[in-house]
């Protein structure tokens, strides 16, 4: 068998069914082997989109996402998407073509050191040196990508390795590492801290989705009656409509969530990493609380905030052990009163479209299986605040890296992973231009993705910060020369509509909910609209700015 054939069979042995990529010279033998394989290849129009689509596919499906590119610029174009997956702990295998082994180090055409370039943003990098190693490398790459704390793995594949012959190798396929069991001593300590507390709070992060511990977290909440706050990637870990769910915490968190964190006497962090966008001024985050930290990654426990009780291992096992009713009625009542008092309102004055209200109306009419992808900026925070999620893998958002241009490719990946789901991509006029070429991919594969494009003719989040923290010196945020996005979409063969004025929202949302095929809604909003509340950089979460305070 040729190396390229071995490589494709090794992917098939791992259960791969979809690959996102873009061909070129060094990877051409692999594309030749793809021609007769069972794998479905999705041709994107930029390699960055291949990596981001593989990311969306992985988040929506729970499987390893796979992307493929040629050497040189094709490979370097993957790096942003690989880094995005690394920051958000998304399992991915990225495959890059490489010049033949005897050319490596000679500055050959389209040669770059992908092994070295990728090292800071992958769990592991492989440079294949022998065709006999191919099947083993693929098996190891998938095992590393999905085990422990998931993440991306790179396989750099020299062209001569793919064209050499060898005897048929053994294909391993679907190897998994067993999860570490939490220590009984730490679990007992956690139970003791819970019984002593009067104001406990659960801080739920993205690790819950990674661990597959959604059911266990919900059972834990029901058994203990402890209120919950969530991170951006923790949204949906408990349903948005649950009374004990106080919502998002941190920089753009709800007032009731941030107040609960600042007053609690016990913080139970589950699959969370004390990110700076969550904690604000770290030294003043949950200042009265002891901390129980449950995580599958031992390096996260006490990395930023010292844990009084660190529990490393299978989150599901830990949560199941910690059931027990607590006497915290007064605390729960206080949290619930604040939740009612500080609930978001959607009766904003004026006739222009109020983006939070538009998002909330779509949310109220969503189907059971609606997957939302977001780009990065104000619209991303509005979605986190105002769209109600019931499962964490229904909300795909670039958290750690904050990658503009994530939304459309991720939606393509999610739709292919879950063809029965309704997929909505929320974007802004700045982010959308980052990967607008993927409208061609949307059209080619006839994917029924709905795109909600909020247009304020500015880089909205940067403009908001310049308004609040840079004395309104608006430097390079003007996007008033945007193209006509409706005409752009139509040029790609995508139906589109312009939505302008509040009286047009009902009809627009009807189409977004009911149309069968793809649709772009170009929604014009007030350029001065800001995201509230906001914790200023370097401040405590108790120092929230609100619309009435500036």
Out of 47, 111, 216, 438, which one is annotated catalytic? 47
Angstrom distances, CA of residue 154 to CA of 75, 98, 124, 140, 151: 10, 12, 7, 11, 10
Identify the DSSP state of 178: P
Angstrom distances, CA of residue 29 to CA of 15, 32, 215, 316: 21, 5, 45, 44
Closest CA to 458 of 378, 399, 349: 378
Is 281 considered catalytic here? no
φ/ψ (deg, to 5) at 441: -65, -45
Out of 2, 9, 123, 159, which one is annotated catalytic? 159
Out of 12, 28, 110, 281, which one is annotated catalytic? 110
Question: In a 10 Å sphere around its CB, with 0-12 CB exposed, 13-18 middle and 19+ buried, how is residue 378 labelled?
Answer: buried
- Both tokens of 451, joined, read 């795109």
Q: How far apart are CA 248 and CA 512, in angstroms?
A: 26
Is 199 considered catalytic here? no
Q: How far apart are CA 51 and CA 91, in angstroms?
A: 11
Exposure string of 88-100, with b = 16+ CB inside 10 Å and e = fewer, is bbbbbbbbbbbbe
Exposure string of 262-295, with b = 16+ CB inside 10 Å and e = fewer, is bbbbbbbbbbbbbbebbbbbeeebbeebbbbbbb
Is 9 considered catalytic here? no
Question: In a 10 Å sphere around its CB, with 0-12 CB exposed, 13-18 middle and 19+ buried, how is residue 514 labelled?
Answer: exposed
Cis peptide before 333 (omega within 30 of 0): no
CB 281 within 8 A of CB 262: no
Is 87 considered catalytic here? no
Half-sphere exposure of 211 (CA within 13 A, CB side): 30
Is 110 considered catalytic here? yes
Out of 20, 461, 529, 544, which one is annotated catalytic? 461
Out of 40, 109, 299, 487, which one is annotated catalytic? 109
- Both tokens of 364, joined, read 């109220």
* Residues identified as active-site: 47, 109-110, 159, 461
């Amino acid at each position: 068998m040729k190396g390229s054939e071995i490589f494709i069979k090794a992917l098939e042995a791992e259960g791969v069914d979809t690959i996102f990529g873009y061909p070129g010279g060094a990877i051409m033998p692999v594309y030749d082997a793809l021609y007769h394989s069972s794998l479905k290849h999705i041709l994107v129009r930029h390699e960055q989109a291949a990596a981001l689509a593989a990311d969306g596919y992985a988040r929506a499906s729970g499987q390893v996402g796979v992307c493929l590119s040629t050497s040189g610029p094709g490979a370097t174009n993957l790096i942003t998407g690989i880094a995005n997956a690394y920051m958000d702990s998304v399992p991915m295998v990225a495959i890059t073509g490489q010049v033949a082994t005897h050319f490596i180090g000679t500055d050959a055409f389209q040669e770059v050191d992908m092994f070295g370039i990728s090292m800071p943003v992958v769990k592991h990098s492989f440079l294949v040196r022998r065709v006999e190693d191919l099947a083993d490398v693929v098996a190891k790459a998938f095992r590393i990508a999905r085990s422990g704390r998931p993440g991306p793995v790179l396989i750099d594949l020299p062209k001569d390795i793919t064209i050499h012959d060898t005897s048929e190798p053994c294909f391993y396929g679907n190897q998994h590492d067993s999860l570490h069991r939490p220590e009984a001593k730490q679990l007992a300590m956690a139970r003791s801290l819970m019984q002593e507390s009067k104001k406990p709070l659960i801080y739920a992060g993205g690790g819950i989705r990674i661990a597959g511990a959604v059911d266990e977290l919900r059972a834990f909440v029901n058994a203990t009656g402890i209120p919950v706050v969530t991170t951006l990637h923790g949204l949906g870990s408990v349903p948005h409509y649950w009374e004990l769910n106080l919502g998002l915490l941190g920089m753009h968190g709800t007032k009731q969530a941030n107040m609960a964190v600042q007053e609690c006497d016990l913080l139970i962090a589950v699959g969370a990493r004390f990110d700076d966008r969550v904690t604000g001024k770290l030294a003043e985050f949950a200042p009265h609380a002891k901390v129980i930290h449950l995580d599958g990654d031992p390096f996260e426990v006490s990395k930023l905030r010292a844990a009084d009780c660190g529990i490393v291992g299978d989150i599901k096992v830990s949560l199941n052990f910690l059931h027990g009713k607590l006497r915290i009625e007064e605390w729960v009542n206080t949290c619930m009163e604040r939740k009612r008092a500080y609930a978001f309102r959607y009766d904003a004055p004026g006739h222009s479209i109020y983006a939070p209200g538009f998002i909330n109306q779509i949310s109220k009419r969503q189907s059971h299986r609606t997957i939302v992808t977001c780009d990065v900026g104000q619209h991303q925070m509005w979605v986190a605040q105002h769209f109600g999620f019931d499962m964490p893998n229904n909300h795909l958002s670039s958290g750690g890296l904050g990658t503009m241009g994530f939304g459309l490719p991720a939606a393509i990946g999610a739709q292919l992973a879950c063809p029965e789901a309704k997929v909505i991509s929320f974007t802004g006029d700045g982010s959308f231009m980052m990967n607008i070429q993927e409208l061609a991919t949307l059209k080619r594969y006839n994917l029924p993705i709905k795109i909600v494009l909020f247009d304020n003719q500015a880089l909205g989040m940067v403009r908001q910060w310049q308004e609040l923290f840079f004395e309104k010196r608006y430097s390079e945020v003007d996007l008033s020369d945007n193209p006509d996005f409706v005409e752009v979409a139509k040029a790609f063969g995508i139906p589109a509509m312009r939505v302008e004025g509040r009286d047009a929202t009902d009809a627009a949302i009807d189409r977004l909910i009911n149309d069968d095929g793809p649709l772009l809604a170009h929604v014009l909003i007030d350029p001065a609209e800001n995201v509230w509340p906001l914790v200023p950089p370097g401040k405590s979460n108790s120092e929230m700015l609100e619309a009435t305070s500036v």
